[in-house]
Amino acid sequence: MARYVARVHTPMAIAEAFALVSDMRTFEDWDPGVRSVDQVVGDGPGLGAEYEVRVAASPVPAVPIDLTLHYVTERCEAPDSRNEPHTVLLVARSLLFSSVDLLTVSSAPGGCVVVYDADLRLNGPLRMGDLGLRVAFSWIGAHAEAGLRTALDGTSVPA
């Protein structure tokens, strides 16, 4: 299993930050590992929205190998639900691996905090490659966090 958790404080209002991170179509704007996103079910973010996400499968730019993942929004608790924190759970499962992205937005002084908790697991016998996956995913996660900080006009927050 490879996991990356990023915490970013932003001066944005909670609804604005949630709108950015709950819609996978924005991921290609801030995550350099995401090549493109097409929504295939639904019209905008929300429970049941589905996306085809083309990601860079190689961290080496000279080796342009991409994968297309089918993500489903399995949970979406938006700001108008009066629940806090506001969360979105985006899940992709394939024969090779499972990707689970949990994004949480909570009120904080001067804005809000966005927590991006990404979990990538190889399936079946491929689990033997988890150590290599952890190393690559750490690099990929750090770049995604930098893009998220920029998109949110925010700063990293220690755990």
CATH tag, 2-32+75-156: 3.30.530
User: pLDDT tens, 106-145?
Assistant: 999 999 999 999 988 876 666 665 656 656 666 677 888 8
Identify the pLDDT of residue 33: 86
| 93 and 63 Cβ atoms separated by less than 8 Å | no
